[in-house]
Amino acid sequence: MRLRIEITRRPGIADPEAVTVTRALRELGFDMVVAVGMGRFLLIDVDEADPEAARAAADRMCRQLLANPVLEDYSIEVVAEEVAG
C-alpha cells in the first residue's frame, strides 16, 4: 500500500511564504488568484495489505510526528498500487 499524506497550514495560522507566492502569481498577471495554501506532501510505502489498517497507521503517524496539531491539518489517501519511490 502507498499512503499519500497532505499536510497544510491550519486556517488562521499566518503563512508569509504563501502570501508572497500569492502576490508573485498576481504580479505575473494571474489576477484570479485569491489565496495560496502551502504545505507538505509525503508518499509513504507500507508493507500492509489492509487499507483500513494502513489508514489507521497513517493517522497515528500524523498525530505523533508528521503534523503539529497547533499549526497543521492533514489528510490521508490510501492507494493500492505501490509505485517505485
Partner 1 sequence: MNIAVVVFPGSNCEHDVVHALRGVGSNPKLVWHRDDDLSAFDAAVLPGGFAHGDYLRVGAIARFSPVMAEIEAMAAAGKPVLGICNGLQILCEAGLLPGALVGNRDLSFICRFVHVKVESTKSSLTAAATKGRVLRIPLNSYQGSYTAQADVLAEVEANGQVILRYCGPDGTVDDNNNPNGSANGIAGVSNAAGNVVGLMPHPERASEPILGSTDGKVLLESFVSALAEA
Q: Which residues bind partner 1 (CB under 8 A)?
A: 10, 12-17, 20, 65-66, 68, 70-71
Rounded (5°) CA angle 41-19-67: 30
Provide, rounded to whole angstroms, the least separation between the CB of residue 18 and partner 1.
Answer: 10
Amino acid identity at 35:
A
Provide, rounded to whole angstroms, the least separation between the CB of residue 54 and partner 1.
Answer: 21
Closer to partner 1 at the Cβ: 40 or 82?
A: 40
Closer to partner 1 at the Cβ: 51 or 69?
A: 69
Closer to partner 1 at the Cβ: 38 or 53?
A: 38
Q: What residues contact residue 33 under an 8 Å CB cut-off, 6+ apart? A: 22, 25, 26
Hey, what's the torsion of the CAs at 24, 25, 29, 31, to 10 degrees?
Answer: -120
